[in-house]
Amino acid sequence: MRIFKFGGASVKDAAGVKNVVKVLQETGHGNTLLVVSAMGKITNAMEAIVNAYFADKNKLSDSIQEVVDYHDTILKGLFENPNHAIFSATKVLIDEVKGFLAWNKSPKYNFVYDQVVGYGELLSTTIISAYLQEVGIENNWVDVRNFIKTDNSYRDVTVNWEKTQERVAAGIDRKKLNVTQGFLGSDDNNFTTTLGREGSDYTAAILAYCLNVDSVTIWKDVPGVLNADPRYFEETQLLHKISYSEAIELAFYGASVIHPKTLQPLQGKEIPLHVKSFVNPKEAGTTVGKGIGIEPYVPCFIVKKNQVLLKLSSLDFSFIVEDSISELFKLFHDHKMKVDLIQNSAISFSVCLDNRFGRLQDLLGLLKSRFKVECHESVSLYTIRHFTGEAIASLQNGHQVLMEQRANETLQLVVK
């Protein structure tokens, strides 16, 4: 059995959905599990619904209608019969969103977020499953929330592997084409949980591990894993092969092609990961598996935008020692600030953070009571794996470097 994962860009419109069919026709579709993300930028649109619910209910109806209109356009491009059952099926899902927002009593943003935003994946997979049936490809629509079980740390959950393994092994028919959602799970009370933004890759890896599949393929709008993000770098090279350890390093530092949590389950059972182009499905793309390093051996550039650099120093020139650092990391954890880079001396401590949940101001209020704080917002963190002098010079040119750290294989720069 194998797993195919299709992201939002691959199913952003009717043409994209039709192309999924083309990929399946060219590669075969038996013994396959499709993991599909929300269509296009619908996750952002679903987040706008949640934000309107909390901040401006006058915008709520329009925010929901935007999601309805987007999917209606796709439906009309796929189904000629306006009375096809898919139209009522998607309406039921939208009505579920409206119903939840009407009866919900919880004031907790993260809980509401998880109950609402995941409908992007439920809509996309319902549409794709119906279209596959329409063109003669039999398939099972599977609700992944019945299989991936997590704790209730909404928006940042931990998978319960034992329960998940048990449910997946017993409930997934390996002999058929199955269509399911990325990004989603459920807690012990069967409330929806999410695995984090871009979590559909992780979903594929979880299911791959539990099913002992032969391979996982992530279908992208790029030819494979490149040595740099083409949105930010003009000249890029395709990496043909990457070892698990090298891929984990790249993902840890923020390479966007592979979700950071994806690789560990795959490495545990030595399941190869292919990253291929949905535009040219017969091209080899990139294979991640057993081996050493990368091929070709070239510098790899990774950039994380909109980071925060904090430079902390003690108010009385006392040392910042283990107790202080331990307390700082607890504060970062409590405020859900992901630590990307640290550097410390006797009386100072610098840290580059990802303010992904917007908790920076709360954190600063606590830090300023104990430290002298210098805060730089909207900085970029660049990482170069296998750096060269030429690669370093290309980044330093025109940037103000606020912090630099280098090891044998990796250089990191925080720049403004």
Q: pLDDT for 343-385, tens place per residue?
A: 988 888 999 999 988 899 999 999 998 889 999 999 999 999 9
pLDDT band at 394 (very low <50, low <70, confident <90, very high): confident
Q: Is the pLDDT of residue 106 over 90?
A: yes
Residues 317-330: what's their mean pLDDT?
81
Residues of the chain with CATH 3.40.1160.10: 2-213
What pLDDT is attached to residue 230? Answer: 85
CA distance 122 to 180: 8
CA distance 201 to 195: 10
Integer-rounded Cα radius of gyration of the chain: 23
What pLDDT is attached to residue 115? Answer: 98
Q: Is the pLDDT of residue 273 over 90?
A: yes
CA distance 184 to 196: 9
CA distance 140 to 234: 42
pLDDT band at 156 (very low <50, low <70, confident <90, very high): confident
CA distance 239 to 287: 9
What pLDDT is attached to residue 19? Answer: 97
| DSSP secondary structure letters along 58-91 | GGHHHHHHHHHHHHHHHHHHH-S-TT-HHHHHHH
Q: What is residue 32's three-state secondary structure?
A: strand
Residues 330-347: what's their mean pLDDT?
90
Q: pLDDT for 72-89, tens place per residue?
A: 999 999 999 999 999 999
What pLDDT is attached to residue 337? Answer: 93
Neighbours of 208 (CB within 10 A): 27
Q: What is the DSSP letter of 37?
A: -
Residues 144-155: what's their mean pLDDT?
97
Q: Is the pLDDT of residue 222 over 70?
A: yes
Q: Is the pLDDT of residue 248 over 90?
A: no
Q: Report the mean per-residue pLDDT for the chain.
A: 93
Q: pLDDT for 30-52, tens place per residue?
A: 899 999 999 999 999 999 999 99
Please indicate whether residue 342 or residue 293 has the higher confidence score (pLDDT). Answer: 342
Bridge partner residues of 277 (DSSP): 220
Residues of the chain with CATH 3.30.2130.10: 300-415
CATH class of 2-213: alpha beta
**Is 300-415 a CATH 3.20.20.140 domain?**
no
pLDDT band at 257 (very low <50, low <70, confident <90, very high): low
